Amino acid sequence: MIIHIKNKDTLIVEGFKFKCSVGKRGIRKNKFEGDFYTPSGKFEIGKLYWRPDRVMLPETKLLCKKIKKNMGWCNDIKSKFYNKEIKINKKIKYEKLYRYDHKYNYFILIKYNYKKTIKNKGSAIFIHLTKNYKPTAGCIAISKKDFLILASLINKNTKILIN
């Protein structure tokens, strides 16, 4: 199964078309950390993360992980943990996963620059929630209702095609 991101504002999966938003500067092959582009290419997806204090575990075939207060995603190009989930550490730059806003109540990891990580090539690329479809820092954002439908359709073998 393929999740296809098309025309910067449409996510297609199994005949469903969902409105989405991508990076503020669009989609690009040669991405780097902090450039506000969504990476183009075909990628595996990872775990579904969720905030159990705010939302229910969705119906899905993906591996799921609860988001805890001490969780972050390393975006520190000097760290050996670059582009990996970490326990928050003041010595390492990170993106907080336990957020005050709604965006990370649910998210799915896109395995961009993940297995053989190249420093400064981009980190923390997720499918996460949005209420207003404003451009992201490089992620793909969809509504909660659409996220729950997407989560119920896909599995660990699903790929995402961004072009």
pLDDT of 7: 85
pLDDT given for residue 137 in this prediction? 97
Report the C-alpha gap between 15 and 28 in whole angstroms: 25
Cα angle 110, 1, 73 (rounded to 5 degrees) comes to 10
Predicted local distance difference test score (pLDDT) of residue 105: 98
pLDDT, averaged per 10 consecutive residues of the chain (163 residues), comes to: 94 96 97 97 98 98 98 96 96 96 98 96 98 98 98 97 96
Among 121, 151, 126, CA closest to 137: 126
User: pTM for the complete prediction?
Assistant: 0.97
Q: Which domains does the chain have, with CATH numbers?
A: 2-162 (2.40.440)
What is the per-residue pLDDT for 75?
Answer: 96
